[in-house]
Amino acid sequence: MSTPSPAWLAAARTQFVTHFGAAPTRFAFAPGRVNLIGEHVDYHQGFVLPAAISQGIRALARPRPDTLVTLRSATFNATHTFDLAAPFAATSGWARRAEGIIRTVLADAPSPRGLDLFADADLPVGGGLSSSAASMAALGALAADLNDLPLAPTPFALTLQAAEHRFAGVNCGLMDQLAVLQGRANHALLIDCRDLSLRPVPIPPTWALVVLDSAIRHDLATSEYNRRQQECAAVLALLRARRPAVQSLRDATDADLDAVAPTADPVGLRRCRHVLAENRRVHEAVAALAAQDAPTVGRLFAASHVSLRDDYQVSCPELDALAEAAWQAPGCIGARMTGGGFGGSTVNLVQASEVRPFLTFVAREYKLQTGRDARVLVTRASDGLTRGEVP
């Protein structure tokens, strides 16, 4: 089991003692995730190919003798305190998500104990890298550990997903939670979002993983995310009325969509066509990674981005500018938007020997196109949630 870096641990321990007056006893690290391909298909029981990354949410904790929970967030420079024996206290934002997952994890504890928590991150918040899922995973794991509750990965992932639905208002699939909990170093994870099976897929060792954050955050992301599900659900109802074996878009074919096209909403139909094509692209990408076939990976990434831009309509001009610049940059293997969209980040596979000229080219072009500076995250595929005693 990995432990926090000595430098971070020393600094965080000092802050913990300053704030709480005693030393922490447990740590947890939950990585962010970047999705290589398979976007907006997890909640349609499709296939996705995410990787946990080396940046994430780091937290320290100690148990309390009462039922109070005090959380200090260095990221938000704020403190939230609540009593497990009292009604829900938080009303919005990071505090609501934090309180929500802690209460959810401890709901079945016969005599839940409170805890003091300190958390920070080297992961951009709102950048499409699952900072919310990672934060909930780290805090929920510490709450469970300090109350001697077992945490099996798949049930915990389902708990995290339910908390995301309830406390963040995002009707997400299970990709983020599974990747955050079960990531594997130097691998992506092929996830079947119907049966939740996982298969590690090696990333070629000479390919670097680069995330470019557009620095754009759009408030409409949550509402539009949920709207896309509603648009697809309307078409799915037509598909099921015609062919009951279609339980989700995972089961539909292009011929099925053609058959309902005369009565389906054309916007919803475009959304569904993205889902079907994206599922195919995931399987093609797995084969291309195994063969280290850079041209095919590049073609698939570009097709995914164009489909997300034109059919699912979750991109934005800044993400388009980043992807288009990357496609022309030296060393680029593949580039596309990643995450929910409407801002956030692109994922880029780059020849490791060409990372510097790649970044120089994309940064210059992005600045020319948008007047903005992209935030750079050179990362690697990493293990999922780790936790243990503070050394």
311 is catalytic: no
Is residue 259 a part of any domain in this protein? Answer: no
Q: Looking at the 3D structure of the chain, how many domains does it have? A: 1
Q: Side chain identity at 287, as an amino acid letter?
A: A
Task: Kindly state the DSSP code that residue 204 receives in the 8-state scheme.
Answer: P
- For residue 231, the model assigns a pLDDT of 97
Is residue 160 a part of any domain in this protein? Answer: yes
Is residue 13 a part of any domain in this protein? Answer: yes
Catalytic residue, from 116, 120, 176, 311: name it.
Answer: 176
Question: Which ranges of 164-220 does DSSP label H, i.e. alpha helix?
Answer: 175-182
Contact of 144 with 105, CB cutoff 8 Å = yes
Which CATH number characterizes residue 173's domain? 3.30.230.10
| pLDDT exceeds 80 at position 43 | yes
Give the Cα separation of 362 and 384 in Å (integer).
Answer: 30
Is residue 35 a part of any domain in this protein? Answer: yes
Give the Cα separation of 155 and 140 in Å (integer).
Answer: 12
| pLDDT exceeds 50 at position 181 | yes
Is residue 358 a part of any domain in this protein? Answer: no
Q: Which two tokens stand for residue 196?
A: 């939740």
User: Which distant-in-sequence residues (6+ apart) come within 8 Å of 240 by Cβ?
Assistant: 246, 247
Is residue 59 a part of any domain in this protein? Answer: yes
Is residue 181 a part of any domain in this protein? Answer: yes
Contact of 112 with 159, CB cutoff 8 Å = no
Give the Cα separation of 130 and 347 in Å (integer).
Answer: 13
> In which band, very low, low, confident or very high, does the pLDDT at 289 lie, cut at 50, 70 and 90?
very high
- For residue 340, the model assigns a pLDDT of 85
SS3 label, residue 299: helix
**pLDDT tens profile 210-235:** 999 998 876 555 678 789 999 999 99
**pLDDT tens profile 165-178:** 898 877 777 999 99
**Cα angle, residue 123 at apex, residues 120 and 124 outer, rounded to 5°:** 110
The parent domain of residue 33 ranges over 6-203+382-389
Q: Which of 89, 39, 115, 87 is nearest to 274 (CA)?
A: 39
Q: Which helix (H) or strand (E) holds 211?
A: strand 207-217
Residue identified by tokens 């130097």 is 186
Is pLDDT larger for residue 230 or for residue 3? 230
Q: Which two tokens stand for residue 280?
A: 């195919």
β pairing state of 47-63 and 187-192: antiparallel
Question: Which ranges of 78-152 does DSSP label H, i.e. alpha helix?
Answer: 93-105, 131-145
Residue identified by tokens 């993983």 is 209
Give the Cα separation of 391 and 389 in Å (integer).
Answer: 6
**pLDDT tens profile 117-164:** 999 999 877 777 889 999 999 999 999 999 999 999 999 999 999 998
If 0-12 CB within 10 Å is exposed, 13-18 middle and 19+ buried, where does residue 194 land?
Answer: middle
Q: What is the pTM of this model?
A: 0.93
Beta bridge partners of 292: none
Give the Cα separation of 181 and 201 in Å (integer).
Answer: 16
Give the Cα separation of 157 and 134 in Å (integer).
Answer: 11
**pLDDT tens profile 45-99:** 999 999 999 999 999 999 999 999 999 999 999 999 999 999 999 888 899 999 9
Query: pLDDT over 90 for what percent of the chain?
Result: 85
Is residue 253 a part of any domain in this protein? Answer: no
| pLDDT exceeds 90 at position 103 | yes
Contact of 193 with 150, CB cutoff 8 Å = no
Sign for the pseudo-dihedral over CA of 132, 302, 207, 43: positive
